[in-house]
Amino acid sequence: MPAEDMANEFHELLTEKSFSGQSKHDFLEALLELSDRQWHTYELLCEPLKTQIEKVLIAEWDGFDFDFAEGSIVVAAHLGLVGLFDFISSQNVSELSSEVAIEIKEAITELGDNIADPYSGMK
């Protein structure tokens, strides 16, 4: 799927999120699929869409919801969402389940300073 079509799909998903009653997990599942497809275009997503996605995921963040935390980390890695990753990385351990804290720690170790470039491991 061309990058332009991907941008349209992201925009549509973000618009639907605002107006439908879909759960945050349904939204995240769709976002995970789109972020994987975007990653496979080998092109970076445009900044306005990155910012919108970050705002939604940060607003829905729950440090005790492992599935949401894990999915948010994957989306951040696939799309190069520095703001989201910084937000997740800065979470206070006392406001996280132990599983989420471990997942964040592993993500920081794995992704480190390369979060901005989803293709850094391929170079």
pLDDT tens for 25-65 read 999 999 999 999 999 999 999 999 999 999 999 999 999 99
Residue with tokens 């970076």: 44
Bigger pLDDT: 73 or 21?
Answer: 73
Task: Report yes or no on whether pTM surpasses 0.85.
Answer: yes
- State the Cα–Cα distance between residues 85 and 52, nearest whole angstrom: 14
Q: DSSP 3-state assignment of 118?
A: coil
Q: Which two tokens stand for residue 121?
A: 């491991």
Q: DSSP 3-state assignment of 109?
A: helix
- State the Cα–Cα distance between residues 1 and 40, nearest whole angstrom: 9
* Per-range mean pLDDT, top range of 10-14, 113-117, 118-122: 10-14
CB atoms within 10 A of CB 55: 13
- State the Cα–Cα distance between residues 119 and 123, nearest whole angstrom: 7
